[in-house]
Amino acid sequence: MTKKTVAIIGATCDLGFELSKIYAKNNYDLIIISRDKEKNSNLKNLIESLSKNTKVSSYELDILDLETHSKVYNLIEKPIDGVISLIGETHNVRSIKDQKFISIINTNYTYLVNFLTFFLNDFETNNKGFLICLSSVAGLRGRKKNFIYGSAKAALITFLSGSRNYYNNSNLFLMTVLPGFINNKGSKLNNLEKLLAIDPSSLANKIFVAHQQKKEVIYSSFIWRMIMFTISLLPTIIFKRLKF
């Protein structure tokens, strides 16, 4: 069986580790990309110890350092069969004057899309490839707690939807992942959030299975699909009064 290669951006998070294990187990070589050199090295060594036949290479990238995007991309060995993006940064809105908002938007959308476009251009040229992007249910309807983060995720959802339409007559596959809460190590979730959360290992397995089945949009659970369906139906006059 011919080896394939997948690049995982933001690979050193809990979900990235679980996805790395699954794709390595299923005959993929790995390119792991994150901003932390030490975590990159640790993940590379761990995956290589778990899967002796997997080639793992790592690259450092701070998605907010726009000038390094093309440099890092050019360093990566080609060809690549697919990309998984796990980049994201949440932020609760305390004041609309918060100067961190622009970095949240750039991390979750503008600068991220700039980097992903390098790969999409290659996929279009080769007429094959896949892109799997982690977005969020926060992008489906804005709420006061995190609407800056949600607006960036909404833009990412729209970008992926438009890309699917653009590449419809090609062999490119694009998947949007819409999780709710993820029970990462160190997550500070309340009791209700824990009930609705998914473990990174379970989500990674769902993503891989959905990839094989060519599902273009997936939720982390049926419950979240129903929650967001219900929220989407609420009239604005009611929704804007909700405190959640």
Residues of the domain holding 9 = 4-239
pLDDT at residue 52 in the model = 83
Would you state the pLDDT for residue 50?
Answer: 87
The per-residue pLDDT for range 91-137, each reduced to its tens digit, is 777 766 776 888 899 999 999 999 999 999 999 999 999 999 999 99
Q: Is residue 18 part of a domain?
A: yes
Residue 244 domain-assigned (yes or no): no
Residue 66 lies in a domain: yes
Report if residue 158 sits inside a domain: yes
Q: How many structural domains are present in the chain?
A: 1
Report if residue 184 sits inside a domain. yes
DSSP 185: T
Block means of pLDDT (10 residues each) for the chain, 244 residues, are: 90 93 94 93 90 91 95 93 93 72 92 97 95 94 85 96 94 95 76 81 96 96 91 85 74
With contact defined as beta carbons under 8 Å apart, do 182 and 220 qualify?
yes
Integer Cα distance of 216 and 174 in angstroms = 6
- CATH number of the domain within which 127 lies: 3.40.50.720
pTM, 2 dp: 0.91
The per-residue pLDDT for 242 is 78
The answer to whether 186 touches 197, Cβ cutoff 8 Å, is no
Alpha-carbon gap, residue 228 to 171, rounded angstroms: 30
Per the domain annotation, does 23 fall within a domain? yes
Does residue 106 lie in a domain region? yes
Sorted by sequence, the CB contacts under 8 Å of residue 178 that are 6+ apart come out as 135, 136, 137, 139, 140, 157, 217, 218, 219, 220, 224, 228
DSSP 190: -
85 by DSSP, 3-state: which?
strand
Q: Is the dihedral of CA 179, 183, 187, 192 positive or negative?
A: positive
The identity of residue 26, as a single letter, is N
